[in-house]
Amino acid sequence: MAAEAAGGAGPVPVPPASRSGGVPTPRTSPEPPRSSRGRGPKSVTRTRRSLAVLFLLPALVLLGALVLYPIVWNVVRSLFDSSGDGFVGLGNYREMFSDPNIRTAIKNNAIWLVVAPTVATALGLVLAVLTERIKWGTAFKLLVFMPMAISMLASGIIFRLVYEQDPDRGVANAVAVTVHDTFAQSSAFPKAHPRPRSALEAVKGGAFLTKEPVRDGTPVLLPLVGVAPDVMPGSAKPAATPERAGGGEITGTVWQDFTKGGGGTLDKVDPKELGYPGMRVEAVKDGEVVASAKAGADGRFTLPAKADGARLRLPADNFREPYGGINWLGPSLVTWSVIGAYVWMWAGFAMVLIGAGLAGLPRELLEAARVDGAGEWQVFRRVTVPLLAPVLGVVLVTLMINVLKIFDLVYVIPPGSARDDANVLAVELYNTAFVDGDAGVASAISIFLFLLVVPVMLLNIRRLRRERKEERR
């Protein structure tokens, strides 16, 4: 009755009393089957640990054979000489740090570690933000990411051609020469110069100056040589003898004092000799230019009366060498040029990862910042970048690990004359082991390179654990 009154749902089962005193015995879990006793505890997924170890054993064997054994063997090998018979202790490490080529490689690796990941990540961030605001952003991302589909070797060959010194072959120098000549055009007479015992003398800066002042009524002859007939400007015409001018003007001719095929008279205008069209002539008094003129197609020029008593100067601009571009693969720029090729390849990788993180940002935070009066730059700097910090960290650490073992680009792009200046540890490791045949020093370099990668890997692991803890909270 009490049970029915309490629950109204029928009698409540009462546990049976024990034999000793009528006290109910507690309910216990059923015993495991006899067949499973003594086989070890099971995991949450009901899998025995021994069975899990059995499945992991092939992977552990491969890990030991392909990773742990080579590391241990390299550590041991680095303590012996090149033949592997004589124990030298830390001698290979001392030799490694005393070698100038290896010190250059360490310095270049430091430059790579700081510059390449930072620039690639920053460029990827900018591209990811900008492509969100254009309609054809997907196509643009595809174009930027496309270099990732090209192998390092192929990219090295491409940029070896891009950085060619000849502007007719190298794209980079073709652009540089075009921009330079737009503001400072080179001369058509870079090799021109006067003969010995000429009326002209060389002065500081590459100009030529008449030895004596010019006078009214006396035509001036300025003969030059040194320009090959096949490179003379197409506008050049046969040189003409200057006429005597009136009113105090100074007349003269500047021309190529050389007759093709022989003949002609020195310091006199001959019919087969060509004038220097566009050659600039200046009248100088007390170091100041008082008048100037340009020679015509036949080489003749005319100066006003105030040039009387002045000395005539052919300024250095007339003899400026053609701009050959930038020596991208020279000793001073070769490392930075190779880094540029690396950024071209990996900026697309950074852009795609950062773009994925950008797509997951809470838009209400960005809109709230804009409603509060923040400009686009403030939103980007104070909201977008802090929210993307985890993604930026992933990209940066990944690229840092990648550049520490950079090999292909540095091996392919620099020419032989600049290869030592662009050297990095991976290339030096290859040269020491397979070119010089010194396995002891090569093993020491590999261990040193491994020790450089370990801190970056630990940093990445620590960051991942911290992110997991934050997600659990």
pLDDT in tens, 29-81: 555 555 444 455 555 555 678 888 888 999 999 999 998 999 999 999 999 99
Radius of gyration of the chain (CA): 41
Residue type, 363: R
C-alpha angle 331-337-340 in degrees, rounded to nearest 5: 160
**DSSP-derived secondary structure letter, 141:** H
**pLDDT value of position 189:** 87
Say if CB 203 and CB 209 are below 8 A apart: yes
The pLDDT tens digits of the residues spanning 417-459 come to: 899 999 999 999 999 999 888 999 999 999 999 998 888 888 8
Q: What is the pLDDT of residue 1?
A: 37
* pLDDT average, residue stretch 380-397: 90
pLDDT confidence tier of residue 17, bands split at 50, 70 and 90: very low
Give the full edge-to-edge strand order of the sheet including 300-303.
220-224, 250-256, 300-303
Q: Is 251 helix (H, G, I), strand (E, B) or coil?
A: strand
Does residue 267 carry a pLDDT above 60?
yes
- How many angstroms separate the CA atoms of 163 and 158, rounded? 9
pLDDT on residue 35: 47
- Is residue 212 within 8 Å of residue 242, measured between CB atoms? no
Angle between helix 334-359 and 389-404 (nearest 10): 150
Q: What does the mean pLDDT of the chain come to?
A: 86
Please report the beta strands in 247-333, taking only residues with DSSP state E, as ranges in sequence order: 250-256, 280-285, 288-294, 300-303, 311-314
Beta bridge pairs of residue 24: 17
Residue of higher predicted confidence among 464 and 225: 225
DSSP 8-state class, residue 86: S
> What pLDDT digit, counting tens, does each position of 83-138 carry?
888 999 999 999 989 999 999 999 999 999 999 999 999 999 999 998 888 888 88
Please report, rounded to a whole number, the percentage of residues in the chain having pLDDT higher than 90: 50
Using DSSP's 3-state secondary structure scheme, residue 202 falls into strand
pLDDT per position as a tens digit, 311-368: 999 998 888 887 888 999 999 999 999 999 999 999 999 999 999 999 888 888 888 9
Number of H helices, E strands in the chain: 16, 8
Structure token digits, residue 290: 């008082």
Write out the two tokens for 441.
Answer: 């020093």
> Torsion over CA of 169, 175, 180 and 181, rounded to 10 degrees?
70
Strand-pair category, 250-256 with 220-224: parallel
Predicted confidence at residue 41, as pLDDT, reads 55
Instruction: Calculate ∠ Cα 237-243-245, nearest 5°.
Output: 130
State residue 134 phi and psi, 5-degree precision. -120, 150
In the block, tokens 């030895």 appear at 211
**pLDDT of 168 over the 60 cut:** yes
The answer to whether 301 and 283 are in contact (CB under 8 A) is no
Query: Of residues 399 and 197, which shows the higher confidence score?
Result: 399
Burial class (CB in 10 A: 0-12, 13-18, 19+), 448: middle
Q: Which two tokens stand for residue 159?
A: 């940029």
The CA-atom distances, in angstroms, between 68 and each of 207, 225, 285, 347, 461 are 70, 73, 82, 33, 19
Burial of 43 from C-beta contacts in 10 A (0-12 / 13-18 / 19+): exposed
Which residues are CB-neighbours of 250 under 8 A, at least 6 positions away? 214, 216, 220, 283, 302, 303, 304, 305, 307, 308, 312
* Distance (Å, whole) CA 36 – CA 102: 62
Average pLDDT in the 222-236 region? Answer: 88
Residue 170's alpha-carbon distances to 167, 194, 277, 337, in angstroms, are 5, 35, 31, 13
Question: How far, in Å, CA of 170 to CA of 413, rounded?
Answer: 13
Structure tokens at 34: 């006899």
Burial class of residue 261 (count of CB atoms within 10 Å of its CB; 0-12, 13-18, 19+): exposed
Contact 255, 227 (CB under 8 A): no
Q: Residue for token digits 């072959």?
A: 169
Nearest to 178 by CA among 279, 277, 321, 322: 322
Average pLDDT on 213-226 reads: 90
**Is 80 exceeded by the pLDDT of residue 287?**
yes
Residue 28 has pLDDT above 70, yes or no: no
Q: How far apart are CA 244 and CA 217, in angstroms?
A: 6
